[in-house]
Chains A and B, each alone.
Chain A
């Protein structure tokens, strides 16, 4: 090592360290300010959410009682009504919607994850457009196809059809993401063992993607369960109990829509109770899907 050769390096090192130290204070300050701005934005975005939750809980919790969940609606002015028929209706409508949307959504997601050609691009674009279509547009489509023509009258399955269409793009894109997250080396390991693509998908890729698939599906169901516009034009609502999908059924979002603007305090109270019910449902589905997904991952990787 010669001192001569090292000299410019040493000089530059001294200069760079001098600048770094001289500007350190200013850079630290800027960094802190930026961090503070991020935190402030976080708090600001949380305010509406927290305010909404608190308000709904306060207004809705007082409506919750055994009768609220187990009774049928009562006419205006008569206290003691419940949303039992709406809960059953919602479960039937959303279950049928999910049963239709999940297989198609996951299959389409599998296709999208596996292909990058023109067809896949078109499908992907279509899914994105579909997820941006206002739900009332899907509703009037379902009305035209099933209520006005196909079945000929208002029914729960027409609502399931509309909600299923709304769930489809969400499940598709979530599945694609989940499946793309499975390392290529796993598919290649399957290929190298002589497996067919369908076998690899069924035995290797889909099981590995299961936690992500589950999260996507449950989030789509949670979103679908809160949709109101498609219900208005398809199942309209019912004050009676029925579990027949071909008949108009009650649904929880409709209870909010119809009772929320009434002049009778009892009915308004039921609307708030239903709002809280929907929020709790979404919460249970989201938290539940995360817990199950986390559990699946833990079982697999530990």
Chain B
């Protein structure tokens, strides 16, 4: 396979071409493999996460999208037998390097999960500032400022400003997911990982989250896993297409600007997938 991180020179640059080279990259992955108890789940994946852009990981079930996403903020550290190899960098820092504290990394690389998971015993406000408190922030003014800013950014402020002390469980599913986004944003991470954030939401809640993703780009670089190709084409600037290899390990097929990947993919397998011929 040719180096997947570079758009082939022959292809004319799309008008909204994304700079994939390291200068514009907030995170870089080189030959990243993830194995669980010796079983390889993701093999030799390389791509860049462009700064202030949305990068979508797409591919059928079992292609290792979520596994790859969770390796970016060291969530696999908690899984016994999980080994991440290759190089993952946040800026110039080695994510798996000896100098990197996983907790500090996760305050810089936030995450939103498939199902809304606000802390059930906390109020809306406490949920929003939970990450800050976990990281030692005690300053009330800073907490308030960050909560308001994050709730505004998550398009939740107007509906919750009058009931910040109410329990998070009083919110609807879509609102809960936006609270989870606000909770992640309040820590002001540089990168936000989203693992199929709309898979448990109805179409209108999904639409709001998708709109939100576009608005958040200025604030945070986003990596989103989605099994919905329409969603990938709507929200992302770059698409990374993964496919399960012969030994059931996920492999990168193609990484390209979204418009190119959907209109003129380099790999016939990408063409088949994005045009719904399999998967």
Q: Determine chain B's interface SS by DSSP, over half rule.
A: loop
Decide: A16 near B219, CB < 8 A? Known: A21-B104, A22-B136, A24-B101: no
How many angstroms between the C-alpha atoms of A235 and B55 in the bound complex?
Answer: 75
Could you tell me the distance in whole angstroms from the C-beta of A84 to the nearest C-beta in chain B? Answer: 47
Q: Say yes or no for B31: interface residue by CB 8 A criterion.
A: no
How many angstroms between the C-alpha atoms of A16 and B146 in the bound complex?
Answer: 10
B139 to A, closest residue via Cβ? A19
Contact A6 B218 (CB under 8 A): yes
Q: Say yes or no for B188: interface residue by CB 8 A criterion.
A: yes
Could you tell me the distance in whole angstroms from the C-beta of B261 to the nearest C-beta in chain A? Answer: 23
B107 to A, closest residue via Cβ? A20
Against A, the Cβ 8 Å flags (1 = close, 0 = not) of B156-193 are 00000000000000000000000000000001101000
How many angstroms between the C-alpha atoms of A15 and B107 in the bound complex?
Answer: 13
Q: Say yes or no for A27: interface residue by CB 8 A criterion.
A: yes
Chain A residues, Cβ within 8 Å of B145: 12
Q: Which of A12, A17, A23 meets B108, CB within 8 Å?
A: A17
Q: Which of B103, B107, B149 meets A12, CB within 8 Å?
A: B149
Contact B219 A19 (CB under 8 A): no
Interface residues of B in 100-159 (CB under 8 A from A): 101, 103-104, 107-108, 132, 135-137, 139, 142, 145-146, 149
How many angstroms between the C-alpha atoms of A22 and B108 in the bound complex?
Answer: 15
How many angstroms between the C-alpha atoms of A5 and B149 in the bound complex?
Answer: 12
Interface residues of A in 11-42 (CB under 8 A from B): 12-13, 15-17, 19-24, 26-28
Q: Which of A6, A8, A12, A20 meets B135, CB within 8 Å?
A: A20
Chain A residues, Cβ within 8 Å of B135: 16, 19-20, 23
Chain B residues, Cβ within 8 Å of A27: 103, 136
Chain A residues, Cβ within 8 Å of B217: 1
Q: Say yes or no for A9: interface residue by CB 8 A criterion.
A: yes
Decide: A12 near B188, CB < 8 A? Known: A1-B218, A21-B104: yes
Task: Give the interface size class of chain B.
Answer: 20 to 34
Could you tell me the distance in whole angstroms from the C-beta of B241 to the nearest C-beta in chain A? Answer: 27
Could you tell me the distance in whole angstroms from the C-beta of B220 to the nearest C-beta in chain A? Answer: 8
Chain A residues, Cβ within 8 Å of B107: 16-17, 20
Q: Which of B136, B139, B188 meets A13, CB within 8 Å?
A: B188
Interface centre among B101, B136, B218, B219 (most CB of A within 10 A): B136
Q: Which of A6, A8, A15, A20 meets B104, CB within 8 Å?
A: A20
Interface residues of B in 213-228 (CB under 8 A from A): 217-219
Against B, the Cβ 8 Å flags (1 = close, 0 = not) of A110-148 are 000000000000000000000000000000000000000
Could you tell me the distance in whole angstroms from the C-beta of A158 to the nearest C-beta in chain B? Answer: 50
Interface centre among A15, A22, A26 (most CB of B within 10 A): A15
A23 to B, closest residue via Cβ? B136
Against B, the Cβ 8 Å flags (1 = close, 0 = not) of A24-65 are 101110000000000000000000000000000000000000
Could you tell me the distance in whole angstroms from the C-beta of B52 to the nearest C-beta in chain A? Answer: 6
B138 to A, closest residue via Cβ? A19
Could you tell me the distance in whole angstroms from the C-beta of A41 to the nearest C-beta in chain B? Answer: 22
Using CB atoms and an 8 Å cutoff, list the residues of chain B in contact with chain A: 52, 101, 103-104, 107-108, 132, 135-137, 139, 142, 145-146, 149, 187-188, 190, 217-219
13 new A-B contacts at CB < 8 Å, known A16-B107, A21-B104, A23-B135: A5-B218, A9-B188, A12-B145, A12-B188, A13-B190, A15-B142, A16-B137, A16-B142, A19-B139, A20-B107, A20-B137, A27-B103, A28-B103
